[in-house]
Structure 1
Amino acid sequence: MKNFFLQLILLFFCLIFACPGYCEPPEADEGERDAETYNHLETFANVLDLLQKHYVDKVESGEVLIGAINGMLGSLDPHSSYMSPEDFKELQEDTKGSFSGIGIEVTVRDGVLTVVSPIAGTPAYRQGVKAGDQIVRINNISTQGMTLPDAVKILRGNQGEKVTVTIRRTGLNELLDMAFVRDIIPHHSVVAKKLGNGFHYIQVTSFQATTTRDFKKVLRKAGQEGVIQGIVLDLRNNPGGLLDQAVQLVDVFLESGVIVTTRGREKENDMYFEADRGKTRYTFPAVVLVNGGSASASEIVAGALQDHKRAVILGTRTFGKGSVQTVVPLPNGAGVRLTTARYYTPSGRSIQATGIVPDMIIPFEEEKITGQGGGSTALLREEDLPHHFENNSQGKNEGQVKKKKKNIQVPKGTAAEFADRLAGDNQLQVALFILKKMATSLHRH
């Protein structure tokens, strides 16, 4: 029976990885390592055999094996995970359209579901959910030990349905009970407002299918209305998204030079992204706003513009997610999200677990109380996540540039609403002041 389970496990792993190399005989110099792996698999088979024979309740082998896969991936880093066929299908749909939920990016930190960032314009954002909030219950169900996909399933649902969330927030003695009405969370990622006298505010809330296309539309429209004196690019609480969109957005600002490089274990997959000189040249000054909720793709943008001295980076230290994830489909319709590379800024620095340090560190006034972005209380960052990669490597990489395209809409608000926002946003106020000084200095030269 033991040998049967051992053979079953070996066959299972060969099928899961769906790669002939995993089932080929080991090379001589890898024999010792593979022997150790075989011993661990035998131990796994022994434990499974014990469960089948002696566990108090009947054990479903499929559920146990899926749990083992989740545990294996969870022991590696916070961003690698297994997706069931249903989860994988939802992921594919999310990248193409919209979904119904409350509008938050979440992760699991020390076994607790934690908010990375609320998505602008969503129910969670409007009701004041903050980065770093811990979600301890959803619909009165404890999230302790709950997997991230299971939590996301509960948070999502049909539009118009209610969901209650209990939050633990740093600095508050009591838990917060919040009730949300699920709404469609569209892939809106570009919000534009005029700051007057040729200055413009452009917020990118995430990097989705058509982020760069919509960003260019905003710039073209602004240029048709008059000379662009400068822009404030707001990447605060931007959790990231598609790598190619971040690359293409940086390309709008640069005529040449490296944008980002990625390097992983398999050198043939290393990629080297470089700017292409476009038809339209944009030479206006720019200030980029970032905070502790700016992660992944938004850090690629900030790091590239900072290294090329194309923009002033203002705000507080970013999240520090310097790794690249690849989604690999499996034969049974499921998928695996694997961390396959680290990325590096044009100067060759890795921001993994360290983040982008702004040129000007300006805490948001409320952050001193809530901890959003570098105030007196700690904000969740990559370095706080269990099993996060250490920043122990530097260097530049070579490879081919790979780019894609996609689409979104631009949500609108009233001028009065934005005026109120400007009045209560000290970081934006400082950014506009600096932008005007930069424009004046540019005209003098």
Structure 2
Amino acid sequence: MFTKGSRTKRVIAGFAVIVATLVIFIGISSQKRCAAEGKGSDYESIELFTDVMAIIKKSYVEEVDTKKLVYGAINGMLVSLDPHSSFMPPDTYKEMKIDTKGTFGGLGIEITIKDGILTVISPIEDTPAFKAGLKAGDQILKIDEKFTKDLNINDAVKRMRGQKGTRVVLTIMREGFEKPKEFSLLRDVILIKSVRSRMLDNGYGYVRIAQFQEKTDEDLSKALKSLQEEHKGPLSGLVLDLRNDPGGLLDQAVKVSDHFIEEGLIVYTEGREKDSKMQFSAKKGGKEPNYPIVVLINSGSASASEIVAGALQDHKRAVVMGTQSFGKGSVQTIIPLSDDSGLRLTTARYFTPNGRSIQAKGIVPDIIVERLELPKESEKREVMHLREKDLENHFEVTDKDAPKDKKKEEKKEETKDKIVSTRVEDNLKNDYQVMRALDLLKGLEILKKMGSGK
């Protein structure tokens, strides 16, 4: 038998053991909490996510596919970051890889989310969107009868794409519209020709880059070589048209710039990860002659086209003309995932050689030139111009007073003008910005000859 005193002692000892155990347990728990202090909110959020997922799986009115829930959650995460980060299910990821090769079905329109509204970055040249008259900055309020307010970019792209010959109606709001307007577009197979070129005038070339794809650099090399062969020598000047170019592949933008920049930095990127901090510089050799260049940009010029314009501007290799560019200065890294889906994640920002951030600022032209439509030839004839010969008592110049070869010279000039006129497509002849660029190149050539005394 135990005495009362011994029982008391044993109770006290047992209580001490319990207290000690509780202290140890509390200490261990505190250590765990302290170790997870920096990631406490992450653990809590993951726990919240799994709780919600479990509740949905158990209690939602209909049975839900787990993968659908996961995809929706991932997409929601990325949409909350910025307009350019997105999750691509396997079918969308596959389409994205096709896009960079320049062939896909749909409308031919580059879009983004701006101020919460689905917005046109640029219609791609010679596509249904371009032909229908869609413009950079247009707000897409509805796709068919579906409002776009709650659509992410991937969903919007899916709704606009479809089989060739099928129709889609976009409800557009544009600055200057009193109310939204419907545009009916017929889907087509989009075959994007990255580079187009032609001779504007004797020695003055024109190159249009519609989008930066896998073969843009190769196509540009061919175009420049073709122009030089047509001119039978180095060009007198070049108009590089990047208007409504929504961008594309970074490496192609670097290679295009490298054609014209002798040495030095072309573009650099900065991000949080070490791999996102990169520099791209011009390589030695294989450069174009040092002829003058005018780069045309507008609000539809984005991403890769802004890199080219910014690099040539900073190196003083070209005069940038037009209107301020879009301002997409972020780098998206494409990350393939285990189930053939993909992640498009913003990982860095672009900077021009002089350290200018493109993001939300864009490239400001050296010469601001708004887009205007020049009057057509038929309209020009209807305009009355007062000339010396229309004035009363004007005196005539007889053949004796004129130089002997005057008429021949006039005929030569008329013939030359006709040749130039036939070389320039109607849309370029009536393109005010292109004509201003050509005038600038000619003016630079004249000043150069004046300076050399020739």
Superposition pairs for residues 122-201 of structure 1, below 5 Å? 122-201=127-206
2:437 aligned partner: 431
User: 1:296 and 2:337 equivalent?
Assistant: no
* Alpha-carbon separation, structure 2, partners of 1:106 and 1:152: 8
* Alpha-carbon separation, structure 2, partners of 1:30 and 1:157: 52
* Alpha-carbon separation, structure 2, partners of 1:93 and 1:114: 23
- Mark the CA change 1:281 to 1:119 in structure 2 (over 3 Å): closer, same or farther: closer
2:337 aligned partner: 330
CA contact (8 A) 2:239 2:293 kept: yes
CA contact (8 A) 2:261 2:287 kept: no
Alignment partner of 1:441 out of 431, 436, 447: 447
2:76 aligned partner: 71
CA contact (8 A) 2:199 2:424 kept: no
Deviation at 1:156, TM superposition (A): 1.2
* Alpha-carbon separation, structure 2, partners of 1:103 and 1:71: 26
- Which secondary structure does the structure 1 equivalent of 2:259 belong to? helix
Backbone CA RMSD of aligned residues: 2.3
CA contact (8 A) 1:192 1:202 kept: yes
- Which secondary structure does the structure 2 equivalent of 1:173 belong to? coil
- Which secondary structure does the structure 2 equivalent of 1:236 belong to? coil
1:390 aligned partner: none
Deviation at 1:417, TM superposition (A): 9.8
Alignment partner of 2:247 out of 217, 240, 257: 240
- Mark the CA change 1:29 to 1:63 in structure 2 (over 3 Å): closer, same or farther: same
- Which secondary structure does the structure 2 equivalent of 1:253 belong to? coil
| 1:133-152 deviation line (CA, Å, top 9, x unaligned) | 12222232332312221221
% same residue: 49
Alignment partner of 1:214 out of 191, 210, 219: 219
Unaligned runs of 5+ residues in structure 2 are: 1-31, 374-419
Deviation at 1:60, TM superposition (A): 3.6
Amino acid corresponding to residue 293 of structure 2 in structure 1: A
* Alpha-carbon separation, structure 2, partners of 1:278 and 1:271: 22
1:352 aligned partner: 359
* Alpha-carbon separation, structure 1, partners of 2:254 and 2:157: 28
* Alpha-carbon separation, structure 1, partners of 2:309 and 2:72: 38
1:203 aligned partner: 208
2:4 aligned partner: none
Amino acid corresponding to residue 244 of structure 1 in structure 2: D
CA contact (8 A) 1:252 1:282 kept: no
1:340 aligned partner: 347
- Which secondary structure does the structure 2 equivalent of 1:130 belong to? coil
Deviation at 1:129, TM superposition (A): 0.7
| 1:9-61 deviation line (CA, Å, top 9, x unaligned) | xxxxxxxxxxxxxxxxxx99984221221011112223233333444444443
* Alpha-carbon separation, structure 2, partners of 1:107 and 1:269: 23
Deviation at 1:97, TM superposition (A): 4.5
If asked which structure has higher relative contact order (CA below 8 Å, sep 6+), I would say 1
- Mark the CA change 1:98 to 1:297 in structure 2 (over 3 Å): closer, same or farther: same
* Alpha-carbon separation, structure 2, partners of 1:108 and 1:354: 16
* Alpha-carbon separation, structure 1, partners of 2:218 and 2:438: 25
Between 192-201 and 326-335, the greater mean CA deviation after superposition:
192-201
Amino acid corresponding to residue 321 of structure 2 in structure 1: L
- Mark the CA change 1:91 to 1:30 in structure 2 (over 3 Å): closer, same or farther: farther
* Alpha-carbon separation, structure 2, partners of 1:318 and 1:30: 48
* Alpha-carbon separation, structure 2, partners of 1:66 and 1:30: 31
CA contact (8 A) 2:109 2:129 kept: yes
1:40 aligned partner: 45
* Alpha-carbon separation, structure 2, partners of 1:428 and 1:28: 66
